[in-house]
Amino acid sequence: MSFTLAKTERLAAILAQTPVIPVLTFDDAKSGVAASKALRDGGLTVLEVTLRTPQALEALHAVVQEVEGVTVGAGTVLEPEHVEKAVRAGASFLISPGSSPRLIAAGSEAPVPFMPGVSSVTEAMKLWEKGATFAKFFPAGPAGGPEYLKALVAPLPSVHFVPTGGVTLANAPSYLKLKNVVAVGGSWVAPQELIERGDWAGIEALAREAAALKAR
């Protein structure tokens, strides 16, 4: 039960593609495909489809099949069953908000890269001991924000983070300038109200702003 170098390198390559990973919640496949195309056209090509709705896996599969030029992962992966179903749906990577023992065991053995979540130094160290050098930092704002992550650079130089939770266009640069942040996750680039209205041009414009941000 460990994180292999091959999958770590694959995850590193995925995260290097973008400064911002949209955190997406879809109620149906059709809107998922349309929103994903808008995000891609705005310059964001790595997407996290959260498993928060009954239609999430269907939407994820539809995006994988119908939207060219994007790398699609499954987010809010909470249990081993989610790992299996997300992989079957076509997810290229998996993200969890936390790191329970059962989930770590399943995720580390999955055929695609798995990025667990942490909110403390102890959790990050436990993952590092298992070979994980990338982790979601969640909920980023309540857990301490950029200052907290900055303090981890010296003691944990080989662990890199994707802060998510409370990240916005305004504060994303404060995270992205840090040595141990490779990208940020955020729902602001595809807010539910725009998805529900079918405002794909609005989502594309938000994606274009986010894609202009740069990681250090």
> Over the stretch 61-95, which tens digit does the pLDDT of each residue have?
999 999 999 999 999 999 999 999 999 999 999 99
pLDDT tier for residue 2 given thresholds of 50, 70 and 90: confident
Beta bridge partners of 137: 118, 163
Burial class (CB in 10 A: 0-12, 13-18, 19+), 155: exposed
81 is catalytic: no
Question: How many domains would you assign to the chain?
Answer: 1
Residue 119 has pLDDT above 90, yes or no: yes
Instruction: Choose, from 7, 37, 136, 204, the residue flagged as catalytic.
Output: 136
Q: Could you tell me which of 47, 41, 89 has the C-alpha nearest to residue 71?
A: 47
For residue 64, give every residue at least 6 positions away whose Cβ sits within 8 Å of its Cβ, in sequence order, or none. Answer: 72, 89, 90, 91, 92
Quote the domain boundaries for residue 28.
Answer: 5-117+181-211
**pLDDT on residue 214:** 82
CATH code assigned at 32: 3.20.20.70
pLDDT-derived band at 1 (thresholds 50, 70, 90) equals low
Q: Quick check: is 101 in a domain?
A: yes
Residue 43 lies in a domain: yes
Pairing of strands 93-95, 114-115: parallel
Domain-located, residue 161: no
Q: What is the mean pLDDT of the chain?
A: 96
Percent of the chain with pLDDT over 90: 97
Q: Does 130 fall in a domain?
A: no
The CA-atom distances, in angstroms, between 49 and each of 33, 73, 156 are 11, 6, 29
CA distance 6 to 150: 27
Q: Express as a percent the part of the chain with pLDDT over 70.
A: 99
Instruction: Please tell me the predicted confidence (pLDDT) of residue 216.
Output: 57
What pTM, to 2 d.p., does this model score?
Answer: 0.96
Mean pLDDT of 140-155: 97
Q: Is 177 a catalytic residue?
A: no
pLDDT value at residue 12: 97
Of the listed 7, 48, 130, 204, which one is catalytic? 48
Strand stretches in 88-132, DSSP E: 93-95, 114-115, 117-118
Domain presence at residue 76: yes
**pLDDT (0 to 100) of residue 17:** 95
Residue 131 lies in a domain: no
The answer to whether residue 77 is domain-embedded is yes
Nearest to 81 by CA among 65, 115, 57: 57
Q: Is residue 190 part of a domain?
A: yes
- Shortest CA distance to 80 belongs to which of 55, 108, 102, 52? 102
